[in-house]
């Protein structure tokens, strides 16, 4: 794989929200919880944890939140035009966001370093043996 050059541009489907990622994610997780299955309309959702100082957004975003099983607030920012999720956040940790990296122009950074909430994974999906996996939220 060739070297990834930062910044990497990203956007929602309609282009109303754009951003630049200036540094590599701290980690990338494949989440198998039922909420992420609903969000992605697939077996799991990919999340890249990044420092808020490593990303810059342009365009108006709407937000939505829900209370997670562990009691944390799971907030989401999305484009009000096309509805595309851009990132999630926990107000208790304002220095980090959970970027939805499939919105990046260069998606080579989408290399999961772990699988989480495997207790809710689809039965047909086989977890890779070379990555850590956790039945619930490890952090």
The residue ranking higher by pLDDT, 41 or 59, is 59
Q: What average pLDDT does the segment 52-74 reach?
A: 88
Closest CA to 21 of 128, 99, 132, 135: 99
Ranges 2-11, 17-26, 35-44, most confident: 17-26
User: Given this model, what pLDDT does residue 9 score?
Assistant: 97
Q: What average pLDDT does the segment 100-123 reach?
A: 89
**Architecture of the domain whose range is 8-60+95-120:** Beta Complex (2.170)
Please give the C-alpha separations between residue 64 and each of 60, 74, 88, 95, 111, in angstroms, as whole numbers: 14, 9, 9, 19, 27
Q: Which two tokens stand for residue 132?
A: 């850590």
Q: Give the whole-angstrom CA distance, residue 136 versus residue 32.
A: 9
The residue ranking higher by pLDDT, 119 or 40, is 119
Burial class of residue 67, CB neighbours in 10 A (0-12, 13-18, 19+): exposed
């Amino acid at each position: 794989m060739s070297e990834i050059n930062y910044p990497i541009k990203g956007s929602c489907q309609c282009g109303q929200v754009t951003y630049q990622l200036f540094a590599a994610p701290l980690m990338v997780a494949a989440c198998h919880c039922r909420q992420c299955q609903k969000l992605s309309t697939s077996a799991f959702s990919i999340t890249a944890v990044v420092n808020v100082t490593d990303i810059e957004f342009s365009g108006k975003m709407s937000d939505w939140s829900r209370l997670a099983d562990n009691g944390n607030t799971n907030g989401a920012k999305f484009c009000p035009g096309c509805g595309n999720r851009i990132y999630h956040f926990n107000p208790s940790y304002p220095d980090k966001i959970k970027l939805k990296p499939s919105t990046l122009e260069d998606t080579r950074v989408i290399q999961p370093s772990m699988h989480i909430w495997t207790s809710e994974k689809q039965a047909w999906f086989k977890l890779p043996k070379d990555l850590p996996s956790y039945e619930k939220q490890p952090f």
